[in-house]
Structure 1
Amino acid sequence: MSKKKSRALFIFICISPAILLFTVFMVVPTIEVFRMSLYRWGGLSGSKQFVGFDNFKILWNDTDFIQSFQNSVLLIVLVAIITLFFAVFFAAILTRENIMGNNMFRIVFYIPNILSIVVIAGIFSAVYDPEDGLLNSIFGLLSLDSWEQMWLGNHDIVIYSVAGALVWQAIGYYMVMYMSSMASVPASFYEAASLEGAGKIKQFTAITLPLIWNNIRTTLAFYIISTINLSFLLVKAMTGGGPGGTTEVFLSYMYKQAYGNSTYGYGMAIGVVVFTFSFLLAAIISRITKRDVLEY
C-alpha cells in the first residue's frame, strides 16, 4: 500500500467514529422528523395515516402557532441586538481599559452562562415576583410605584421579561468570545490611530469593529440557534407558555403538540418549519453581513 493510501486510510479510521455518531444521532433523526411530518399519528398507536402536506396546511391557519412564531422572532431579534450591544461594549471596556479587578469582572459576567436554565428561571421568577421581587422593590424604593408590574402575569410585557432573562444568561458567554478577538488586535494600531488624533470611539469603529467582524458574524448564527433552544427551556421552567399562550415559542408549542396533545405528526411538521426557518435565517444573515476579510 502506498504512503498516500495509508495516510488516507488512517484519517478515515480516525474520523469514522465521529461520522458514525453524527449520522446516527443527527442525520437519521432529522430525516425522520421530515418523514413523520407527512403522517397523522398520535405517537403511541401502531397505525399511521399518510396525509402528505396536510399538517403544513393546518399549520398556517393555526393562530396559536402564529403566536409562537411571532414570539420566537421577537425573542431572536431582541436577544440578538441587546446581547450583541452589551457583550461588545463590556468586552471593549475590559480589554482596552485598565480596570481594577478586571479578571473578577470576567468571571462574574460569565457565571450566568454556566448556571442551569432551571436555576436562571428560578432566579428571575423571584426577581419578577410582584409582591417581594427585586424589580418591584427597587421601583418602590425610588417612589416609581406606577412602574411596578405583574412581570410574568401581564400579557403585554411577559415576553419581554423572558427576553431579559435570556439576555442576562448570554452576555457573559459572547463577551468572552469578543474579548478573545479584541485581544489579538495589535496595540500598534491603536497607538498609530491615537497619534493621528482618533478618539476611543473612532478607534473602536475604525479598528476594533472591522477586525472582529468575522467573529461577530459567526456569533449571529449562535444567537439564532441558542435563542430558539434556550427560550424553550426557559419558557417551560418559568411560565409554562402562559399566561394564555403569550409566551409560547417554536419548540414549546411543538413539544405540546407532539407529546401533550398526541398529534405527533403535526408536532414534527412544526419541527420542520423550525429547522427550515433557522437554517434560512442564519444563511440570510451570513450573506447580508459578509465583508472582505481584513488581514493584519
Structure 2
Amino acid sequence: MTAQDLSTTYSEIQAEATLLAGDLLDIPRRAAVLHEIFLDSGRNHTFPQMAVHGALWAFSFFEVGGRLGRLIGKRYFYNSRERAFRLGLLQSFAEDFRRINRSVCIDTYTNYHFSKRLGREPGADQFVHPDLLAELNQVHECREVGHSMTPDEQRNVFQQSFLWEQELTVAPGVKDAIESFDCRFMRALCMRPVVRFSFFPWCRFLWFRNFYDTDERIRKGLQAYDFAQAAGWDQVVDSTRSYGLLSETALINPQEHYRNLTRDLLPDERREEPGGDNR
C-alpha cells in the first residue's frame, strides 16, 4: 500500500469521525461513539471509556447550569449585570472545553479505526505515533482472538493514548481556554476544579491546584484510571447513568443506539457492525 493510499484512508476515517462527533453540544453522541470503541476493542481499549466520563463530568461542572455556574450565581446574586458577565465568561470557557472533547473524540476514533484497518502496513506510523500505534495494534490482536488484556497491558494502552492526547490536543486547548480569560477571579475558579467521576470511591475527589499544568493533569488522570481499575469496568460503564445526560437506549442497549446513529450519519459502505458485548 502506498503512502497516498494510507493518507487517503486516514483522511476518510477522520472525516467519518468528524461527522460522528457532531457539533459542540453533541456530548451524548460523542459518548456513544467513544463507548462503542471500548466495546469494539473487547473492552481492552479503556481510554475512550474514561473520556466518556471526562466529557460528562465537564458538562456537569463547567456549564452555566452546572456546579460552577451555580457558585457564580450565588457569588454575584446582588448584581445582575456582573452575574451575567461572569456567566458569559464561563459559557465561553465551557465551549472551549466542549471543543477539546470533540477533538479528543475525533482523534480517538481516527487512531483506533485507522490502526484497526491498516495498523500493520509499513508507513502507518507516519499517521499514528509509533508508541501509540504499537499499543493499538496489540489491542486489535487481542480483539481478533477474543483475548482480554491484563490490567497492566490495559493501563499501558490507556497511558499512551492519554499522554498523546494531552500533548497534541488537550494541552493546547486548555492553554487557549485559560489564557482567553481577562478576569482573575474566573481564571482562578476554572484553574482549580474539583473533579469527581461517578465511579470514584466515596468521598474521593481530585483537587487541582493548577489545571493549566499538563504534568498535574497527567498525574490526576492516572489516579482516576487507578480508581477505575479498582471499581471494575462494569461499574465504570454503569455509572455513566449518574450524570443524567444519556438516553435510556444509550444506557440499556448501546450497540443498537450506535447502530441507529451510524445509520443516520454514514453511508452503507462506511458502517461497521458494533462489536463486543452490549455494556
Q: TM-score, normalised to structure 1's length?
A: 0.33
Higher relative contact order (CA 8 A, sep 6+): 1
Q: TM-score, normalised to structure 2's length?
A: 0.34
Larger radius of gyration: 1
